[in-house]
Amino acid sequence: MLRIVLLVCMLSTTKAVSADHTESECHPGLAGCGFGSIYDTAVSASNRYNPVSIARDVEYLGAVMWDSRQRKFGYTVDRGARYEDEVRATIKIPKGFEIVAFWHTHGAGGYAGQYYSDQDTSIANTWRVPVYLADPTGRLRVFEPGDETLSIFEARKLGLGNGRGYAKGRMVRRNVGSKRGL
């Protein structure tokens, strides 16, 4: 299961995010920008990175940020190591931005990659923001703070281990960033 280590710091800079989706016009550190909703931002990040994640069996993680000046959303991205279920991400928050959600992929992941790990659900509950998951089947799911998690018995029965905090999440879109959906 995915282990995420987040290092979040404030970055003081004044360059604004463009209303366009072109990376070159985004605030430094953002991989995509100019989106009208958290959902649209998560879909765009998933469409862009989930095919690569599946093909290379590498997990990607990023934050969805709100730019209060431009009144638009953007996202960051960090890549994990190949075949590893861990992503170490340093997320720099530019002045005037705030983290409003996280998004990530589970690589080729197999069956277990369709579920949120205890680390994933912990991030949602600790940060009090939704966490989106683009799974290996191309489904986009969301886990909201306080959503129900699987019991230890259910997790064990599904082959996810003996821990607490695993979850299915709520499917919000099919064929996002999968070979079938593109």
CB 28 within 8 A of CB 15: yes
In a domain, 36, yes or no: yes
In a domain, 84, yes or no: yes
Residue with tokens 């705030």: 98
In a domain, 178, yes or no: no
In a domain, 74, yes or no: yes
Closest to 152 (Cα-Cα) out of 161, 143, 144? 161
| 147 contact partners, CB below 8 Å, separation of at least 6 | 121, 124, 167, 169, 170
pLDDT value of position 4: 42
In a domain, 181, yes or no: no
pLDDT value of position 83: 54
Is pLDDT at 14 greater than 80 in this prediction?
A: no
In a domain, 133, yes or no: yes
Task: Kindly report, residue by residue over 139-159, the tens digit of the pLDDT.
Answer: 999 999 999 999 999 999 998
In a domain, 180, yes or no: no
In a domain, 147, yes or no: yes
60-69, 86-95, 163-172: range with lowest mean pLDDT: 86-95
Residue with tokens 């983290």: 99
Q: In the chain, what is the greatest distance between 2 CA atoms, to the nearest angstrom?
A: 51
| 126 contact partners, CB below 8 Å, separation of at least 6 | none
| 129 contact partners, CB below 8 Å, separation of at least 6 | 99, 100, 101, 102, 145
Is pLDDT at 171 greater than 90 in this prediction?
A: yes
- Rounded to whole angstroms, the Cα distance separating 12 from 8 reads 13
CA–CA distances in Å: residue 32 to residues 35, 109, 145: 8, 25, 25
| 67 contact partners, CB below 8 Å, separation of at least 6 | 16, 17, 27, 33, 73, 74, 96, 97
What is the number of domains present in the chain? 1
Residue 60: domain span: 3-173
